[in-house]
């Protein structure tokens, strides 16, 4: 059992991981091994102390060097669910489960609104995890909504199982796909079905019949990730110690609210890590 599971490899997650490492805590740190796109894609950063007119690429490279030099390990993947147990948490990453005494949510903000019908049909044909649920759609017709090229290997995996895949990507230049993958140009606007997914509605007014919908996003809404987590105006509610309403669960960075800034994320990651250390010591 790990001391802490950190979810998210942006500045908040990195700051928490560094501080827990310095204090010799065992950590499972899950997210993208290339860290946060919101760092690498910034054109110019003028408000990060010590970095004078740096580009996002500069800051991201510095973060990457620090991850290596501090011997931090990233488990590359998306956490699809966090399960509160009696005195610890279980987190699902693909088909793997990890257990930790505490959790730090450093997941940034969900930039895309959830689709109409998505929440109600979650687990009833809507899935966020190709590895977990792909086998259920062997020989079936599915839709995949993909927000980042780094998830394309999951689309390929699904296309090897399903007989037909309708793929919508929110970026251009989609990589090579199998013959059974049809790229949609109209944007999905809703997911249809009563007790199971039956189709998706598109922005051109048409509907396509599908058996399941996989949504491969960079971030999952906090209430979907951890049902029961308390929100405040759409952000995770925390106190000054970065504690959420759930015992042993902390949050840091953009997911706790504005301003959306690197230094706030780094500061909150630090506070969350120290709160975890206090909690573990009790």
Residues that bind ligand FAD (CB under 6 A): 7-13, 30-32, 36, 38-39, 41-42, 45, 47, 78-79, 106-108, 218-220, 225, 253-254, 260-263, 265
Label residue 35 exposed, middle or buried (CB < 10 Å: 0-12, 13-18, 19+).
buried
Q: Which is nearer to ligand FAD, 165 or 225 (CB)?
A: 225
Give the shortest CB-9-to-ligand FAD separation in angstroms: 5
Contacts (Cβ under 8 Å, ≥6 apart) of 105: 7, 8, 82, 222, 225, 226, 229, 236, 244, 249, 250, 251, 252, 255
For residue 139, what is the DSSP state?
Answer: T
CA dist., res. 20 & res. 27, Å (int)? 7
Q: Which is nearer to ligand FAD, 61 or 164 (CB)?
A: 61
Give the shortest CB-106-to-ligand FAD separation in angstroms: 5
State the pairing for strand pair 188-193/197-202.
antiparallel
Q: How many CA atoms lie within 13 A of 186 on its CB side?
A: 12
Q: Which is nearer to ligand FAD, 67 or 184 (CB)?
A: 67
Q: Which is nearer to ligand FAD, 19 or 201 (CB)?
A: 19
Q: Is the dihedral of CA 275, 258, 54, 148 positive or negative?
A: positive
Give the shortest CB-48-to-ligand FAD separation in angstroms: 6
Inter-residue contact 244 to 105 (CB < 8 Å): yes
Give the shortest CB-178-to-ligand FAD separation in angstroms: 26
Give the shortest CB-186-to-ligand FAD separation in angstroms: 26
Q: Which is nearer to ligand FAD, 178 or 227 (CB)?
A: 227
């Amino acid at each position: 059992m790990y001391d802490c599971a950190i979810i998210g490899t942006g500045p908040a997650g990195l700051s928490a991981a560094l501080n827990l490492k310095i204090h010799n805590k065992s950590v499972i740190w899950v997210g993208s091994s290339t860290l946060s796109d919101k760092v690498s894609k910034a054109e110019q950063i003028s408000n990060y102390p010590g970095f004078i007119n740096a580009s996002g690429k500069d800051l991201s490279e510095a973060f990457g060097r620090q991850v290596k030099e501090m011997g931090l390990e990233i488990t590359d993947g998306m956490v699809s669910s966090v399960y509160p147990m009696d005195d610890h948490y279980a987190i699902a990453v693909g088909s793997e489960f990890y257990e930790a005494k505490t959790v730090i949510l450093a997941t940034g903000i969900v930039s895309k609104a959830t689709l109409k019908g998505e929440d109600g049909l979650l687990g009833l044909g809507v899935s966020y995890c190709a590895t977990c649920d792909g086998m259920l759609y062997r020989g079936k017709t599915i839709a995949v909504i993909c927000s980042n090229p780094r998830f394309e290997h999951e689309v390929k995996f699904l296309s090897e199982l399903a007989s037909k895949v309708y793929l919508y990507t929110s970026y251009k230049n989609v990589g090579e796909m199998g013959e059974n993958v049809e790229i949609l140009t109209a944007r999905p606007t809703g997911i249809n079905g009563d007790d199971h997914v039956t189709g998706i509605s598109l922005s051109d007014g048409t509907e396509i019949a599908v058996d399941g919908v996989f949504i491969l996003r960079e971030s999952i809404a906090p209430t979907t990730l951890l049902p029961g987590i308390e929100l405040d105006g759409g952000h995770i509610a925390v106190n000054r110690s970065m504690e959420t309403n759930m015992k042993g669960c902390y949050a840091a960075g953009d997911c706790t609210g504005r301003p959306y800034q690197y230094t706030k994320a780094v500061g909150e990651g630090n506070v969350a890590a120290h709160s975890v250390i206090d909690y573990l010591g009790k």
